Amino acid sequence: MAEIISGTALSATIRSELKCETDKLKAQGIVPGLAVVLVGEDPASKVYVRNKTKACEEIGFYHEQYNLPATITEHEILDLVDTLNHSDKIHGILIQAPLPKGLDFKNIINHISPEKDVDAFHPVNVGKITIGDFDFLPCTPAGVMELIHTTGISVEGKNCVVVGRSNIVGKPQAMLLLKENGTVTICHSKTPDLAQFTKNADILVAAAGKAGLIRGDMIKPGSIVIDVGMNRNEEGKLVGDVDFASAEPVAGFITPVPGGVGPMTITMLMKNTLRSARNHGKNKNL
């Protein structure tokens, strides 16, 4: 039986530490500020954005939320990004993905000032991560690393398998595991015989966005299994990429969905925003 790693519990601990640090920064006259931009009516995005705003309130950040219609032009979004780039109240800018069709996410991200790119999606930050220079850690992969650290097992020398190669999770996840000296393999939809790789994983991060992709018989006994998946099954229930029922008896440690990686992503976003606010203060000699 695996030990369940609770992202909800770890998040609560980290958020209370962040609140203490925020209070100290506020005492110096700096209030961390996050702007969250939601375009369109995607129901899942609405929930994520609401949770991000709630986290800001819990920790004591200033926040601005923009709910923009799907009919908005890219030009208008770029104007908003410009305004936020120049706002002294805002230290972090987040454009919730995915954007409605016709809007170029990459182009919009390119316009965010890298110092306010708390998602770490801007090419400057992606490049920095690749050369081992970590100003902002990408939120979901950073949350995954925190969950792995709670097991007390070192990543160094371990076979780490990441399933999924997205820019948001898979690729940066591989970089963070590599930084801690893991031997990293990235698998994806074109990988033949996925199980051949996953069965050898001491640390398995499932981030493919496919419900039930990883079954118990594909997992190395005693391994650490982190499930980044957020899928709706036929009954509308939120499920991960890992088939929990068959995986849990085999794994050594496993994260649940919900209550695993999800809350950690938001907590890491808060950590990046606090860091940005602190840097902003240093630059102004506050």
Using CB under 6 A, pick the residue from 265, 267, 272, 276 that binds ligand GUN.
265
Q: Which residues pair with 66 in a beta bridge?
A: 37
Is residue 49 within 8 A of residue 56, CB to CB? The reply is no
Separation CA 76–CA 84 (nearest Å):
13
Tokens linked to 29: 């006259």
How deeply is 225 buried, as exposed, middle or buried, from its count of CB atoms within 10 A (0-12, 13-18, 19+)?
Answer: buried
Q: Which one of 8-16, 59-67, 88-96, 232-240 is the stretch in contact with ligand GUN (CB under 6 A)?
A: 88-96
Annotated active-site residue in 117, 119, 202, 241: 119
Q: Which is nearer to ligand GUN, 35 or 160 (CB)?
A: 35
Tell me which amino acid residue 169 is: V
E-strand stretches of the chain: 3-4, 33-39, 62-68, 92-95, 159-163, 183-187, 203-206, 224-227, 231-232, 238-239, 253-254
Q: Using alpha carbons, select from 213, 208, 212 the residue that is nearest to residue 195.
A: 213
Is residue 55 within 8 A of residue 267, CB to CB? The reply is yes
Using CB under 6 A, pick the residue from 53, 96, 159, 255 that binds ligand GUN.
96
Say whether 24 is catalytic: no
Minimum CB–partner distance for residue 121 and ligand GUN (Å): 7
Using CB under 6 A, pick the residue from 117, 119, 243, 248 that binds ligand GUN.
119
Half-sphere exposure of 108 (CA within 13 A, CB side): 27
Q: Which one of 83-91, 93-101, 129-137, 180-188 is the stretch in contact with ligand GUN (CB under 6 A)?
A: 93-101
Binding to ligand GUN (CB under 6 A) within 143-202 occurs at 168
Minimum CB–partner distance for residue 53 and ligand GUN (Å): 13
Q: Does 94 bind ligand GUN (CB under 6 A)?
A: yes
Q: Which one of 24-32, 71-79, 89-97, 198-206 is the stretch in contact with ligand GUN (CB under 6 A)?
A: 89-97
Using CB under 6 A, pick the residue from 78, 97, 153, 194 that binds ligand GUN.
97
Tell me which amino acid residue 109 is: I
Say whether 96 is catalytic: yes
Say whether 65 is catalytic: no
Annotated active-site residue in 24, 79, 89, 96: 96
Q: Does 139 bind ligand GUN (CB under 6 A)?
A: yes
List interacting residues with ligand GUN (CB under 6 A). 94-97, 119, 139-140, 168, 265
Which residues are known to be catalytic?
52, 96, 119
